[in-house]
Amino acid sequence: MTRNLVCRSLGKGAGGLALALMAGIVFPLGAQETGSITGQITDAGSGRPLASSQVYLEGTAFGTLTGNNGRYLFLNVPVGEYTLAAQLLGYRTVTQTVTVTEGDTETIDIGLTVTAIDMDEIVVTGTGAATEKKKLGNSIATVDVGRLEDVPITSFSDVLQGREAGVIGLPGGGDTGSSGRIRIRGSASLSQTNEPVIYLDGVRIDRGGGGGWGAAQAATRRIDDIDPNSIERIEILKGAAAATLYGTEASNGVIQIFTKRGRQGAARWSVQTDQTAIRAPFDRFIPHADFPRDAEQVARMQQRWGVSLQPFEVYEVNYLKDFYNTGYAQTYSGSVEGGADLITYFVSARVHDENGPFSTLEGILPNNQKLKSEDTIGRRQATMNVGIFPFDNLRLRVTGMYSELNQTRMRGGNNIFGVVLARLDGPVAARGREQLLRQPRLRDDEGDRGS
């Protein structure tokens, strides 16, 4: 195969991306005798064509999906004997031996039989080898993210929430950008971390938080830097098996995240947008109720809450309603995947902006002060996976990921300077009075209150 043949193969499916990656690279493949393989994948019972069936030559880089007519085609296959495999969800996998001769086209039609038994699931163990799930002695759960396309997911924490038995996603404090905590089969230590070990495409990543005020409920965790739309599947290893394969640090379990890869064929585009309104749950807090017993308490309560009172007159104040408004969030994401015989690619990008329901407190703080920022979070994420197959026994994969996080928020979580206590400790507003009994202690993460 010459350089010209390589360029023609690239131009067939990967377009400008493949040419940019492979320009100027010459593979000294030499001249080879080649043939072709074609055929049709059908339902063995009804004979109807099966679209999107996966057809590939085992042990090679040749693979494709059937069209609407169930047909497939492999060009420039080196002469020799191969094992052709065809599979489709809900059908039993079929393999057939095919011999390719020079200049000839081999026609292999395959009929797939419907089966109620799941296909043999392939997982990646701690040894780094792909193994059939039924042959393992360990308990490995798999979350297929492709089935969650219609689920409102804003971060990786949402992907795991309630998807697998024994895997618990402890909710955060509800603050904008706060991440949940992951527990596999409960907590194992009072003093050490209970977070599982996390791998992304075989690389261990930070499982900690990104700092911030308050306890862990209000922290933003690094795992949420992963674009949920770029994830293909998640494998979860539970129990003592995790410690056996990965060491004692993995006694809390192991989570392996696999991002999407490109597939041969024409470019396939996907675009998605989400718009969300956010309201604070006021029904979680009962109104503050009290009554003054003497003139001194009447003056103090009138100044703090802005109500007109008499001794022993009961009053109620919704002390949190003025702190919140209607927040919003917007997400825009897109991806493209495709490839040819020698290269496959997958590229995705995502933009997420959220302005939570907490306001700047204009009119709440004294002397017309207000916070310099609200509870906001902005994420910019991109993922790229490129596979290059210059030889049958050589595969090159290039994976890149970009993540940017910009966040401002109030001091929340278990914080004595948080929203609730600040509201109880300080007056509703100056309301024209120059003297205040107490000053509100509310601050943002930078320690700023007024401007």
CATH no. for residue 173?
2.170.130.10
- Answer yes or no: are the C-beta atoms of 259 and 383 closer than 8 Å: yes
Q: Where a domain ends, among 227, 243, 259? A: 259
Question: Which bin fits 21, alpha (ψ -120 to 50), beta or left (φ > 0)?
Answer: alpha
Residues 208 and 98 in one domain: no
pLDDT of residue 331: 92
pLDDT of residue 393: 83
Cβ burial 165-184 (10 Å sphere, 16+ → b, else e) = eebbbeebbebbbbbbbbbb
Q: Tokens 């497939």: give the residue.
A: 72
Residues 374 and 304 in one domain: yes
Query: 396, 375, 378, 374: which is closest to 387 by C-alpha?
Result: 396
Residues 200 and 301 in one domain: no
Residues 378 and 274 in one domain: yes
Residues 187 and 274 in one domain: no
The secondary structure of 130-195, three-state, reads EEEHHHCCCCEEEEEHHHHCCCCCCCHHHHHCCCCCCEEEECCCCCCCCCCEEEECCCCCCCCCCC
Residues 165 and 299 in one domain: no
Residues 247 and 359 in one domain: no
Q: Is residue 20 part of a domain?
A: no
Q: Tokens 């679209």: give the residue.
A: 51
Residues 398 and 290 in one domain: yes
Task: Quote the tokens at residue 33.
Answer: 């005798």
CA distances from 247 to 4, 181, 229, 241 (A): 50, 22, 31, 10
Q: Is residue 430 part of a domain?
A: no
CA distance 154 to 149: 12
- Output DSSP code: residue 444: B
Handedness of CA 224, 225, 229, 235 (dihedral sign): negative
Mean pLDDT by 10 residues, the chain (451 residues): 39 42 41 86 90 92 91 93 92 92 93 71 56 59 75 75 75 71 77 82 75 53 84 82 75 86 88 88 78 89 84 84 82 92 92 85 68 80 92 87 85 62 49 35 42 30
Residues 99 and 164 in one domain: no
**Is 308 exposed, middle or buried (CB count within 10 Å of its CB: 0-12, 13-18, 19+)?**
exposed
Task: Quote the tokens at residue 305.
Answer: 């809450």
Q: Is residue 235 part of a domain?
A: yes
pLDDT of residue 20: 40
Residues 274 and 208 in one domain: no
Q: What is the CATH number of the domain that holds 40?
A: 2.60.40.1120
What separation, in Å, do the N-terminal and C-terminal C-alpha atoms of the chain show? 70
Q: Is residue 437 part of a domain?
A: no
Question: In the chain, how many H helices and how many E strands?
Answer: 6, 24
Question: Which bin fits 197, alpha (ψ -120 to 50), beta or left (φ > 0)?
Answer: beta
The total number of structural domains in the chain stands at 3
Q: Is residue 8 part of a domain?
A: no
Q: Is residue 169 part of a domain?
A: yes
Q: Is residue 431 part of a domain?
A: no
Residues 412 and 318 in one domain: yes
Residues 70 and 132 in one domain: no
Q: Is residue 117 part of a domain?
A: no
Three-state SS for 399? Answer: strand
Q: Where a domain ends, among 209, 233, 259? A: 259
- Answer yes or no: are the C-beta atoms of 379 and 405 closer than 8 Å: yes
Q: Where a domain ends, among 112, 141, 176? A: 112
Domain that holds residue 48: 32-112
